[in-house]
Amino acid sequence: MQVLGIDIGGSGIKGAPVDTAQGKLLAERVKLETPHPAVPDTVAKTVAQVAEAFSWTGPAGITFPGVVVDGVTYTAANLDPAWVGLPTRALFNEATGLSTALVNDADAAGLAEMSFGAGTGHKGTVLMLTFGTGIGSALFRAGVLVPNTEFGHIEIRGKDAEHRASERAKEEHDLTWEKWAERVNEYLAYMERLTAPDLIIIGGGISRKSDKFLHLLTGLRATVVPATLHNDAGIVGAGLAAGLG
């Protein structure tokens, strides 16, 4: 099945057609900047521009960086408060003229990694964490997703974990790889106590640089590995979500 996958992030909105049987992009992805302020109408227009770049007329899957239930968005920590309680899937349907599925961004990335990446065939407890503008999370048990966990907002030292350990936090505070890895290690240890995963998958664009920090993570029981689909996981997972819907 061919589905258009669109991944909405705090800094960029990217998309490409996806072969959902193989988990592969069928064309070079298109990426546009996320509008600021990231209010619903302007983001919806940008999503439509991504779809128009492929002259797409079929089904589409779209990720969202927040809690999504039945096409309604209930949180939007790195976008705008106007998204809270909004029937966002209906907004995107209208803006694009397409039939869309809407899914939490980290859940989409997790679906992709469990189907085609680092979590393939794993039947235990798997925790996928994406490090970017924020920290996204996807939790799986025996291959089944527990949706909308949003563990990036767990409090560490009085702050949301993503304010200390996201890729954006590394850049904003000019942290060395060693100092950033200390913060990530503390966060992973906390998540390990909370969810007892057998496998932790580190995703987001920073997964391409896993050689810089993975060896600095210590004292964890779980196996920690980088995502294999890297920053394309959200697009692939969006396509999978649409295919499942």
Number of compact structural domains in the chain: 2
Q: How far apart are CA 208 and CA 17, in angstroms?
A: 22
Query: What's the token pair of residue 85?
Result: 């309680």
Tell me, yes or no, whether 51 and 151 share the same domain.
no
**Structural domain for 190, as ranges:** 120-228
- Angle, vertex CA 180, rays to CA 118 and CA 111, nearest 5: 25
The per-residue pLDDT for 160 is: 95
Tell me, yes or no, whether 90 and 6 share the same domain.
yes
Q: Is residue 115 part of a domain?
A: no
The tens digit of pLDDT for each residue in 111-129 reads 999 999 999 999 999 999 9
Cβ–Cβ < 8 Å for 92, 167: no
The per-residue pLDDT for 243 is: 75
Q: How far apart are CA 107 and CA 111, in angstroms?
A: 6
Tell me, yes or no, whether 102 and 180 share the same domain.
no
Among 60, 115, 111, 114, which Cα is nearest to 89's? 60
The tens digit of pLDDT for each residue in 44-100 reads 999 999 999 999 999 999 999 999 999 999 999 889 999 999 999 999 999 999 999
Give the mean model confidence (pLDDT) for residues 145-153: 97
Tell me, yes or no, whether 69 and 133 share the same domain.
no
Tell me, yes or no, whether 124 and 223 share the same domain.
yes
